[in-house]
Every structure is written in structure tokens, then in C-alpha cells.
Amino acid sequence: MTGLELSRSRALFAEAQGLLPGGVSSPVRAFRSVGGDPIFFARGEGAEVWDEDGNRYVDCCCSWGPLALGHAHPAVVEAVCEAARKGTSFGTPTAEELALARLVRELQPLAERVRFVSSGTEAVMSAVRLARGATGRDLLLKFDGCYHGHADYLLVKAGSGLATAGQADSAGVPEAIAGTTAVLPLGDLDALRAFFRERGAEVAAAIVEPVPANCGLLLQEPAFLEALRAETRAAGALLIFDEVISGFRLGPRGAAGRYGIEPDLLTFGKVIGGGLPVGAYAGRAELMEQVAPSGPVYQAGTLSGNPVAMAAGRAALEALRDGGWERLAERGERLAALLEPVLAPHPVSLVREGSIFWLAFQEPAPRAWHQVDRAGAERYRVLHRALLERGVYLAPSAYEVGFLSTAHTDEHLEAIAAALVDALPLACGGSA
Ligand SMILES: *Cc1c(COP(=O)(O)O)cnc(C)c1O
């Protein structure tokens, strides 16, 4: 079935299954939604990766988003090595964490105070605790089709019918906890207004991915995000923009800047760590000072503000500030121009925001999770395999987005387009 030699990846995966649950450290890596065994990567440089069998791919996953500069960017590698030589962790304040915090605030003035953590999940969890502590309310509002990490009360899906109370979306999440989260569809202004009329006074915070990029790329109308800002404000609730993907990828001010909306709290991850495990939450001083030790909302971390990770994040943000964001936006436009004639014969939409893109097997592209045609997953399975065989690595799930980096050259983008010319007719059958 495959022209790829993958025997070493296959052998490693066979061993991994006896060592790690499902053979992986995070579920989607296991390739279950595209079939076949996962590919073990051994090395990356710029926009290219090599697997354990020596196959080379143009990487359109970029570690699920963090690598906005591509793999092993020299400035990031240098910063990591230099920091590591001085000691990898102290558990004390360091100048390195100030350097990153200073940069974050310079780039995103809404981040008057920043607390560093070690993952996006931890950033979101902590921001929600802060919102609940600051408002004295428990109810959290989220939107179907957004992902915010794996805290119990965020592993919640929409209830049946008109009910907004969330239902647990994982074993091990108590219904009582799932019940502290309400779930609404993205983009539905009527549902939003009705919900706030009925329950606005109970809401601690609404959390949203302003550029929803975890269930495909479900781009929102500005009016929806503006209404969410207005409703939360009127209800005395906080608005959390989960910018774990969009933050420092779309530009210095992320999606908040893109839409000109000021959330109360921002969460970061992925790009902010330059490929090392960093998350952060940030906002107005008065709000953030309610976090311990200044305030009553507890949150801590042994490796938080880790100097090696901070150095990687600083080097990455500096490179992005010095021309990186313009390059990312331009790379996105270049890819779109190349793909337009390639996609035209097929019922496939390119959804794109800057350097984030998604191929939706439907026209027009969906803006809410319930509009996503699930039949696309089968087509994606075929597409994914055909692209691997042609040296292009997309995320192993139909609902994960693609990412470009500043290291994607014209040749890389042309290779992606050329691979799609061959692969799309296989995936879309006789539609061409
Ligand atoms: C990836 C992601 C998270 C979780 O971050 P982890 O570092 O994987 O814990 C949270 N929110 C959004 C929007 C994400 O894309």
C-alpha cells in the first residue's frame, strides 16, 4: 500500500506499545484517525523533518504549532545551549523569566502581569481558577468546537437538545464537575444572547479560542466575538481569550489584535516557548495580582519559569518580532495562491488565517462544529497517506490544522502544492 520504507518506525512503535499507553505520550500522535502506525521523527531542520527510516518530509505540523520558526532555529538552539550550560533549573526567580515577561508585555500590552506555567492546559486551568476566584462565581461558558486542554471541566461536550449544561467527554470526569461548564455553539448570536439573559449572573468567565483551530479552523465573524465581549462585560463576567495557538503566531497581539477586542485574560502556550514546554496566563495588573502570593488564588509550579524554556521563548519571540510575523503572513498568502488552482477542481475549501491553514472537504467552509461534514475524515485518511508518500507531513487527523513556519521556502510550498495535485484526486474520488 505504501511506497515508504517505515520498518524502523514500525519496530519502535511495536516496542512503544508495551511501554506507553497506546504507544504514545499524547493520543492523536497514534495515527488512529488516519490509520497505519505513527512515524517516529528523528531530526528536524527548518521546514524539514527526517524520520527514523531516513525519509524526509516537508513538515506542515510544526509540532502542532509551536515551531513558528521551524525546527532547530539557530537563535533558539543557541539560547537553549547557553542557558543550559548555566544550570537547567533553580526554583528561584531568574533574570531570564523577566526578559521573556518584558518582551511579552512589550508585544501585547494587555499582558500587564504574566504568570508562567509549563503547558497550555496549565495556563487555561489557572486562568479559569483566577476568573472564578475574582468573580466569586462558578459557571464557565465554553464553545463547542474549541479545545482548551484537558482540565476536567473543559473535557466537556455540548448536552443534548437545547440544554447548555455540559456533559463529560472523558471517563473520569465527574458529572458534577462537567456541570460547572455550559457549552454553546460557535457563532450563534441568538443562543449567546438567550444564554446570558437566563444565566449571565452565574457566569465567572467565557472562554473561547478567538481563532478556533482545534476542530478544523472555524473562523468566526467579528460580530460574534464582539457580542461575546459585550455580553460578558454586561454580566460582570470575564472574557478569556485562549490564544495558545494564535498568540505570537498571528502577530504580536495575536487574535485580540486581529479582531481589536480586549479580553480580560489571555492564555498562551505553543509559540511562546519556542518549542520548549511553556505556557502563560496574563491580563490586567489588578486582576492578575489576585494570584498567590499577592492574592488568594493559589497556583504554583516547580519548573515554572524554567530558565532554559524561558530562553527558548525569548529567542523565538525576538526572531518573530524582527521580521518573523511579516514572513509568516506572507508565507500563508503564498501557499493560498499556490493552492487556489490545485483545489479548484475539488469540493475542498482552504481555510486560512495567516500561517494557520485547514483543508475542509466541503464548500463553503464550516464556521461551527455541528456544520463540519464528518465524511471529510475518510477523505482525509486517504489524502494523509498519499501526502506522506510524496514527502509532505500533515497532522494525522482531519480536524487538526496545518502550520507554516518562517523556514518554509517557496520550494517547500511548491512541493506541498505539487503533492496535492497528485493526492487530491485519490482522496476525492471522481470529483475532479
Ligand atoms: C494546545 C492547546 C491547549 C493545550 O495546550 P497543551 O500545551 O497541549 O497543554 C489549550 N488551548 C488551545 C487553544 C490549544 O490549542
Ligand 1, atom 8, residue with closest C-alpha: 120
Residues in the chain: 432
Q: By CB neighbour count within 10 A (0-12 exposed, 13-18 middle, 19+ buried), where does 270 fall?
A: buried
Plot region of 118 (φ>0 → left; ψ -120 to 50 → alpha; else → beta): alpha
How confident is the model over 7-13, as a mean pLDDT? 98
Q: Is 242 one of the catalytic residues? A: yes
| 405 neighbors 68 (Cβ within 8 angstroms) | yes
Q: What is the mean pLDDT of residues 193-217?
A: 98
Domains in the chain, please, with CATH? 7-71+323-427 (3.90.1150.10), 74-317 (3.40.640.10)
Mean pLDDT for all residues in the chain: 96
pLDDT at residue 250 greater than cutoff 70: yes
Say yes or no to pLDDT of 1 above 50.
no
Q: How confident is the model at residue 166 (pLDDT cuts 50, 70, 90)?
A: confident
Mutation pick for ligand 1 pocket among 28, 122, 124 (CB with most ligand atoms within 8 Å): 124
Asked whether residue 307 carries a pLDDT value surpassing 80, the answer given is yes
pLDDT tens readout for residues 378-415 = 999 999 999 999 999 999 999 999 999 999 999 999 99
* Residue 432: per-residue pLDDT: 45
Nearest to 248 by CA among 211, 215, 219: 211
Q: From atom 10 of ligand 1, which residue's Cα is the shortest distance away?
A: 148
Could you report the per-residue pLDDT of 105-132, keeping only the tens digit for each?
A: 999 999 999 999 999 999 999 999 999 9
The CA-atom distances, in angstroms, between 44 and each of 48, 51, 281 are: 6, 9, 29
CA distances from 375 to 4, 36, 398, 399 (A): 26, 19, 10, 12
Distance CA 354, CA 248 (A): 12
Question: Mean of the pLDDT values across residues 46-56?
Answer: 98
Confidence band, pLDDT 50/70/90 cuts, at residue 331 = very high
Alpha-carbon distances, residue 320 vs 60, 247, 327 (angstroms):
18, 12, 9
**In the prediction, which pLDDT does 430 show?**
57
**Average pLDDT of 138-152?**
97
Ligand 1 atom at minimal distance to the Cα of residue 243: 13
CB-based contact 54:80 (threshold 8 Å): no
What is the average pLDDT across 7-26? 98
Average pLDDT (326-352) is 98
Write the single-letter amino acid at 233: R
Ligand 1 atom at shortest distance from the alpha carbon of 277: 7
pLDDT tens digits for range 262-306? 999 999 999 999 999 999 999 999 999 999 999 999 999 999 999
Please give the pLDDT value at position 37.
95
Ligand 1 pocket (Cβ < 6 Å) reads 119-121, 124, 147-149, 209, 214, 242, 244-245, 269, 279
Q: What's the pLDDT at 163?
A: 59
Told to judge if 298 belongs to the known catalytic residues of this protein, a careful annotator would answer no
Identify the residue with better confidence: 167 or 358: 358
Which mutation among 25, 29, 155, 244 tests ligand 1's pocket best, with the greatest number of atoms within 8 A of CB?
A: 244
CA distance 291 to 287: 8
46 and 57 Cβ atoms separated by less than 8 Å? no
Which of 147, 153, 259, 281 does the annotation list as catalytic? 147
**pLDDT surpassing 90 at residue 2:** no
Is residue 147 flagged as an active site residue?
yes
Rounded Cα distance between 210 and 342, Å, is 29
- For the chain, give the percent of residues with pLDDT over 90: 96
Instruction: Name the grid cell of 9.
Output: 518506525
- C-alpha 198 – ligand 1 centre gap (Å): 30
Assess contact for 337 and 421: CB atoms under 8 A: no
Whether pTM exceeds 0.85: yes
Q: What is the pLDDT of residue 235?
A: 98
Task: Name the pLDDT band for 429 (thresholds 50, 70, 90).
Answer: confident
Indicate which atom in ligand 1 lies nearest the CA of residue 214: 15
Chain centre to alpha carbon of residue 371 = 21
What percentage of the chain reaches a pLDDT higher than 70? Answer: 98
Digit-coded pLDDT (tens) for 81-112: 999 999 999 999 999 999 999 999 999 999 99
Backbone phi and psi for residue 43, each to the nearest 5 degrees, phi listed first: -160, 150
Report how far ligand 1's centroid is from the alpha carbon of 244 (Å).
Answer: 6
